[in-house]
Amino acid sequence: MTPSASLAPAAAGQPAAGADPALSAVGVTMAFGGMRAVDEMSLSLGRGEMVALIGPNGAGKTTMFNLVAGSLRPTSGRILIGSADVTGEGPTRRIRRGVGRTFQIPRPFAEMSVLENVLVGAQSQTGEGIWANFLAPRRVAAEERAAIEKARALLEFVTLSHLELEPARVLSGGQRKLLELARVLMADPDVLLLDEPAAGVNPALLDLLIDRIVALNGAGKTILLIEHNMDMVARLCSRAVVMAAGRLLAEGTPDAVAADPAVIAAYLGDAP
Amino acid sequence: MIDILSYGFFFLTMALTYGIVCLGLNVQWGQTGLFNVGIAGFVAVGAYVSSLLTTPESASHLGGFGLPIAVGWVGAALATALVTFLIGALTIRLRADYLAIATFGAAVSIQLCVLNFQPVTGGPFGVGFIPRPFAALAGRPFLFGAANLALIAAVVAVLYLALERLAQSPWGRALKAIREDETAAQALGKSAVAFRLQAFALGGAIMGLAGAAQAHFIGFIAPDNYQPTLTFQVWAMLIVGGSGNNRGAILGSVVVWGIWALSAALISAVVPADQQARAASLQIVTIGVALCAILLWRPRGLIGEARVGARHLLRPAAPRKAPTPSGEN
Ligand SMILES: Nc1ncnc2c1ncn2[C@@H]1O[C@H](COP(=O)(O)OP(=O)(O)OP(=O)(O)O)[C@@H](O)[C@H]1O
Ligand SMILES: [Mg+2]
C-alpha cells in the first residue's frame, strides 16, 4: 500500500473487489475548465468480475472510461492496472497491458474493409515492423493468416461475416457497435471496457449480445460495462456502480441500487 | 531516329528519378497524411551525400572519397533517413499546418547550408565530376542512355514492389488506421507518433536515394537545383498521378515531367532569346494549369487510391452473393 491516507473519503466504498483488483481508479478527478466531469471517483474491478457503471446522461461515465483507458489524463488521482500505476501512460501502452475499450459513438476506420478494421486490433504483429516484411516474410504471412482466421471468427461472433469485404462506412449504427466489439476482442484484452455495447443494437440481437458478453466473462475476462438498460444490467452484473454529476453516488447489487432513493432522485433530477 | 530514341531514354530516366521522389512523398502524404513541403531539402541531402562519397578527391569540397556508386546511394538513403528522422522527431507531433511550415523551413535551411558551407559542399559552384553509372559506355550515347534508363527503371520497380508489399502489410494497415481515426487506432495499440515517424523517415530515405540517382545521372549538382520549385513539381506529380497510389506516383511523374519538358521546348522556340530566363517561370504556370485541369477532370488523380484494397489474402471466406450497396462510389 502506498501511504496515501488522504484518499480515504473516496475509497470508503463497498466491499467491492478482492485484494487483487484487475483495475482500479483511486480518487480521480477530471476538470474541463471549471467543470468537474469526474470528481474524486474511485472504482475497483476484481479479476473476472463484471460490473456495470450506470448513471444519468452527463454523469461522467464516458469520461471515466477515457481516464481508465488512457485517452484522457486525470487532473488528479491515479489509475492502476493490477498493481502498476499507469496514470502517466497513453492508450497504446494500456491496451498492451490488457485493457481494451470500445467507444460509445463508434469510430470505425471508414475506408477500410470490415475485416481490415478487425485486423487492426491484432497486437504485437511481426509485420508491424518495416524490415520484418522483407526479412521474415513467411513469419509475417503465417501470422497474418492466423490473424485473418481469428478476425473472421470474431466477425462470425458478432454476426457481421457477410459484410467482411465492405468498407466500414456502409455499416449501420448498430452494426458499427458490433464492429467495435469485434475489433477490441481481436486484441484479446483481459479487461474490457464496453461503453453502451447494446445501444442501437436491435432487440432480436440483444439476447445474442448478452449471451456473448456472458461468454466472454465466463472465459475469464474482467468487464466494466456502461449501460442504461437496467434490465440488461440486472441480467449481466452482480454489482453496479452509480455515478451522478461526476461523483460516486451508490454501489451495490443492481436491484439494491435501483431501489436506492438517492439513485432514483438523481435519475429524475436529470430527466428532461 | 537514334537521336529521338536517345532523347526518349534521357527523358524517361529523368522522369523516373522524379518518380522515385514521388514514391517517397506517397509514403509520407498518400499513406500517412504527413504534409511535407520540404522535399527539395531531403533530395538535396541525398544528392550531396552520395556525390561527396563517390567523387574523386577535390580541393573545392569535402572529400571526395572515391567510393563506389552503390555505396554512395546507400549512404544517401541512410543519411537522408537520419536527417528526416531528426526533423520528424521534433515536428511530427505538430498539427499538419505546422508540420508543413517546419518542413519548409528545414528545406530552406538545408539549401542555405549547402550554398554557404563552401569548404564542405563547394558552395555556389556545386559538385562536379560525379561518377556516372556505365561510364564505360559514354562513347556510345544510345547504349549509355539505355543502360541508365534500365538501371533507374529497375530501382523504381524494386521500390514499387517493396512499397506495395509494405502498404498491404500490418505496417501499412496500421498507418491507414491512424490516418482514418487516430484515437481509435491508438486505443487499439497503434502508436501514432511511432508509425508516423517511421513513414516520414522511410519517405525521406527514398527521396535521398532519388537525389543521389539524379545527381549521378546528370554528373553535376549545385544548390540551385534544390529550390522550392522542385518541391512543387513533385507535389504536382503526386496529385496528378493519384495520391495514395504508387502506380499513380510513377505515372504522375512521367506526365508532369513531360509537360515540364514540352513547355520548356515551346518557350525556347517561341520566346526571344533575351527574354527566355524570365519566360521560364511560365513552365510553373503550365504545371499549375495542368494540375487544375486534371483535378477538375479527375479529382482523385489519374489513378486514385484503391478505396478498399482487394487484398490478395482477403478472399471471401465462403462463396456468397456480393451485396453491393447501390450508392457506393
Ligand atoms: N472534452 C470535454 N470538454 C468539456 N466537457 C466535457 C468533455 N468531455 C465530456 N465533457 C462533459 O462532461 C460531462 C460528462 O460527460 P460524459 O460523456 O462522461 O457523460 P456520460 O455519463 O457518458 O453520459 P451519457 O450517458 O449521455 O453517455 C458532460 O457534461 C460533458 O459535457
Ligand atoms: Mg457516455
Instruction: Please list the residues that pair with A30 across neighbouring strands.
Output: A38
Contact B246, B307 (CB under 8 A): no
Backbone dihedral region for residue B135 (phi beyond 0: left; psi -120 to 50: alpha; all else: beta) = alpha
Q: Return mean pLDDT, chain B.
A: 89
Choose the residue to mutate in A61, A64, A68, A105 for probing ligand 1, maximizing ligand atoms within 8 Å of C-beta. Answer: A61
Burial of A119 (0-12, 13-18, 19+ CB in 10 A): buried
Residues of A in contact with B191 (CB under 8 A): 90, 92
Query: Which residue in B207, B201, B262, B268 sits closest to B234, CA to CA?
Result: B207
Long-range contacts made by residues A232-238, C-beta under 8 angstroms, separation at least 24?
A232/A198, A232/A206, A233/A52, A233/A54, A234/A258, A235/A210, A236/A50, A236/A52, A236/A210, A237/A50, A237/A51, A237/A52, A238/A49, A238/A50
- Check whether A69 has a pLDDT greater than 90: yes
Q: Which three cell numbers stand for residue B108?
A: 530552406
**Cβ–Cβ gap B177/A103 under 8 Å:** no
The secondary element (H helix, E strand) that includes residue B237 is helix B228-241
Separation of alpha carbons A183 and B301, rounded Å: 32
Question: E strands, chain A, where?
Answer: 21-32, 35-46, 50-54, 76-81, 84-85, 99-101, 191-195, 222-226, 239-244, 247-252
Q: What is the DSSP letter of B246?
A: H
- Check whether B329 has a pLDDT greater than 60: no
User: Residue A8, Cβ neighbours under 10 Å: how many?
Assistant: 9
Mutate to test the interface with A, among B175, B188, B321 (most CBs of A within 10 A): B188
Separation of alpha carbons A100 and A187, rounded Å: 7
B213 or A261, higher pLDDT: B213
Contact A143, A127 (CB under 8 A): yes
Query: Which residue in B90, B122, B123 sits closest to B106, CA to CA?
Result: B90
Of A95, A164, A184, the CB nearest to B317: A164
- Is residue B75 one of the residues assigned to a domain? yes
- Is residue B55 one of the residues assigned to a domain? yes
Residues of B in contact with A131 (CB under 8 A): none
Please state the length of chain A. 272
CA-based angle A268:A206:A66, to the nearest 5? 60
Q: Return mean pLDDT, chain A.
A: 88
Per the structure, how many domains does chain B have? Answer: 1
**Percent of chain B at pLDDT above 90?**
68
Residues of B in contact with A187 (CB under 8 A): 188-189
- Check whether A6 has a pLDDT greater than 80: no
Choose the residue to mutate in A43, A62, A227 for probing ligand 1, maximizing ligand atoms within 8 Å of C-beta. Answer: A62
Mutate to test the interface with B, among A92, A99, A140 (most CBs of B within 10 A): A92
Q: How far is B69 from chain A (nearest CA, A)?
A: 24
**Residue B184's closest chain A neighbor by CA?**
A107
Residues of A in contact with B169 (CB under 8 A): 127-128, 133, 140
Query: Which residue in B204, B174, B291 sits closest to B243, CA to CA?
Result: B291
Residue B312's pLDDT band, with cuts at 50, 70 and 90, is: very low
> First vs last Cα of chain B: how many Å apart?
46
Q: Which atom of ligand 1 is nearest to the CA of A61?
A: 21
**Cβ–Cβ gap B165/A133 under 8 Å:** yes
- Is residue B117 one of the residues assigned to a domain? yes
In the block, residue with C-alpha cell 502524404: B29
User: Residue B44, Cβ neighbours under 10 Å: how many?
Assistant: 28
- Check whether B316 has a pLDDT greater than 80: no
Interchain CB contact of B189 with A (< 8 Å): yes
User: Residue B300, Cβ neighbours under 10 Å: how many?
Assistant: 17
Per-residue pLDDT, B205 = 98
Q: What is the DSSP letter of B124?
A: G
Residue B140's pLDDT band, with cuts at 50, 70 and 90, is: confident
Phi, psi of B146 (to 5 degrees): -65, -45
Query: Which residue in B180, B172, B309, B2 sits closest to A106, CA to CA?
Result: B180
**Cβ–Cβ gap A164/B328 under 8 Å:** no
Range scoring the smallest mean pLDDT among A105-114, B11-20, B139-148: B139-148
Q: What is the DSSP letter of A59?
A: S
The two beta strands, A247-252 and A239-244, are antiparallel
Sheet holding A191-195, edge to edge: A99-101, A191-195, A222-226, A50-54, A239-244, A247-252
A235 or B211, higher pLDDT: B211
Separation of alpha carbons A96 and A123, rounded Å: 8
- Is residue B299 one of the residues assigned to a domain? no
Phi, psi of A201 (to 5 degrees): -85, 135
Question: Angle, to 10 degrees, between the axis of helix B69-91 and the axis of helix B192-218?
Answer: 140
In the block, residue with C-alpha cell 536527417: B83
- Check whether B155 has a pLDDT greater than 90: yes
Kindly list the structural domains of chain A, giving each domain's residue range(s) and its CATH number in brackets, ordered by start.
6-105+191-272 (3.40.50.300), 109-170 (no CATH)
Range scoring the smallest mean pLDDT among A252-266, B239-253, B308-322: B308-322
DSSP H helical segments within B117-191, as ranges?
118-121, 141-167, 170-180, 182-187
Domain, as residue range, for B129: 2-226
Separation of alpha carbons B159 and B147, rounded Å: 18
Separation of alpha carbons B11 and B257, rounded Å: 8
Helix, strand, coil percentages in chain B from 3-state DSSP, rounded to 5: 70, 0, 25
Residue B314's pLDDT band, with cuts at 50, 70 and 90, is: very low
- Is residue B253 one of the residues assigned to a domain? no
- Is residue B288 one of the residues assigned to a domain? no
Q: Which three cell numbers stand for residue B293?
A: 485541369
Residue B318's pLDDT band, with cuts at 50, 70 and 90, is: very low
d(CA A195, ligand 2 centre) in Å = 7
Q: What's at B327, amino acid-wise?
A: G
Contact B44, B233 (CB under 8 A): no
Contact B182, B192 (CB under 8 A): yes
- Closest residue to atom 18 of ligand 1, CA basis: A60
Of A120, A143, A170, the CB nearest to B173: A120
Phi, psi of A43 (to 5 degrees): -160, 140
Q: Helix (H) and strand (E) counts for chain A? A: 11, 10
Per-residue pLDDT, A253 = 92
Measured from the CB, is residue A55 less than 6 Å from ligand 1?
Answer: yes
- Closest residue to atom 29 of ligand 1, CA basis: A58
B64 or B246, higher pLDDT: B246
pTM (predicted TM-score): 0.88
**Cβ–Cβ gap B307/A108 under 8 Å:** no
- Is residue B59 one of the residues assigned to a domain? yes
Measured from the CB, is residue A37 less than 6 Å from ligand 1?
Answer: yes
User: Residue A262, Cβ neighbours under 10 Å: how many?
Assistant: 12
Q: Three-state SS for A249?
A: strand
Residue B308's pLDDT band, with cuts at 50, 70 and 90, is: low
Choose the residue to mutate in A29, A32, A102 for probing ligand 1, maximizing ligand atoms within 8 Å of C-beta. Answer: A32
